[in-house]
Structure formats: structure tokens, C-alpha cells
Amino acid sequence: MIVFFGTRGVSSKLGEGRFHCPRCGTETPYVRRRVRQFFHLYYIPLVPLGERVELVECGVCRTTFDPAILGGAPVAAGGTFDYEFHRGLLRAMVALLPPGAAEQEEAVGGVRDLYRAETGIDLSAQEVKAVVRQTEEDPGRVDGELSDLAQRLDGARREQILRAARAVASRTPGAGDRLASIEASLAAG
């Protein structure tokens, strides 16, 4: 299992227990952490958050969630840095790039521009390329991730992902079927 988002070396443990992991679909152990300063995307240090956030990490799949999940409540929109949302946004865009996009500066630059426009976060080209390569290795996985995510997204964030995905698809000849699949995954929530 690939860990897409992690907090290695920069977090403090607040507690642990068992919860229902939406991704595993069953009860699993979790660790609750406070994340300081940075989080990592695909093991690449990504964002100086400038704030501390708390999250809950599944001990099996290592997916991280808003601590609200422990109360059974839907993840709140806004305010809290939403790891799953940012990953989904990037993965949806990357999935719609043409084959070999990691070597195409224009395609990578386009994703960086859109990601910045939607989130205010400036990803490096290296970070985008790493995600492109991982997505190309297992393209079908994106749909499953997005349908999982859709169950926890509010309408505004779902629309953000759709908007960014459509923008990438509009520049990629033949991306129509792929886009339809991603739209269907997001609608599944």
C-alpha cells in the first residue's frame, strides 16, 4: 500500500484507539497526531502549513482523516487542512493528462497553475511529476480514491475538483472517457 500523505518526523502522538476507517471499510486501529509545520506528499516535503493541525491516521492503510471522523461526523469544510481533498484534486487532474506527461513541461506546468488557483499552494514540478508517475503505474486506482473521497466532500469542494479536472481534460485530446469516469466517481458520494 502506497502512503500518499504522511507526517513522518514532524508529528506528535496525541492518542490512539479504534475507529471505522472509510477506506478499509472496517474497524481498524488509529493514531491521532498533531502535525507541525510540514506535511509530506508522496514523501516529498510539501507545504509549510504555518499552523498545527490534528489528524487521525489509520494504522492499516495509513490514510489520514480529520479528527471529526472519530465523532462519526462528516469532515468539516474549510478551516482544517483537508489532506484527502488535496490529494483527490491533484490525482483527478493528473489522471487526465496525456500519456508521458511527466516529460511534458507544459502539461506539468498546467497542473501546477490549476492547483495553485484552486488551493493557493505552489507545488514544485518535481512533486507533480512524482504524482504523474505514480498515477500512470496504477491509473484505475484514482477512481476508487475519488469515490471514497466523494462521500466526505461538500458540494463546493466536489465542484472544485470537477472544475480542475475538466480544465485539464479540455487540453488533453481524447480525455473524454477518462473525464466521464472521474465525474461518475465523484458523483458516487
Residues that bind Zn ion (CB under 5 A): 21, 23-24, 58, 60-61
- Indicate the residue among 60 and 167 with the shorter CB distance to Zn ion: 60
- Indicate the residue among 21 and 46 with the shorter CB distance to Zn ion: 21
- Indicate the residue among 23 and 91 with the shorter CB distance to Zn ion: 23
- Minimum CB distance to Zn ion, residue 64 (Å): 10
- Minimum CB distance to Zn ion, residue 62 (Å): 7
The residue count of the chain comes to: 189
Distance, CA of 91 to CA of 128 (rounded, Å): 10
- Minimum CB distance to Zn ion, residue 122 (Å): 30
Tell me which H or E stretch contains 143: helix 141-150
Distance, CA of 114 to CA of 122 (rounded, Å): 10
- Minimum CB distance to Zn ion, residue 16 (Å): 14
All cell numbers assigned to 189: 458520494
Q: Determine the 3-state secondary structure of 56 from DSSP.
A: strand
Distance, CA of 63 to CA of 56 (rounded, Å): 8
- The phi, psi pair for 114, rounded to 5°, reads -65, -40
Place of cell 512533486: 127
- Indicate the residue among 73 and 180 with the shorter CB distance to Zn ion: 73
- Minimum CB distance to Zn ion, residue 26 (Å): 8
- Indicate the residue among 29 and 109 with the shorter CB distance to Zn ion: 29
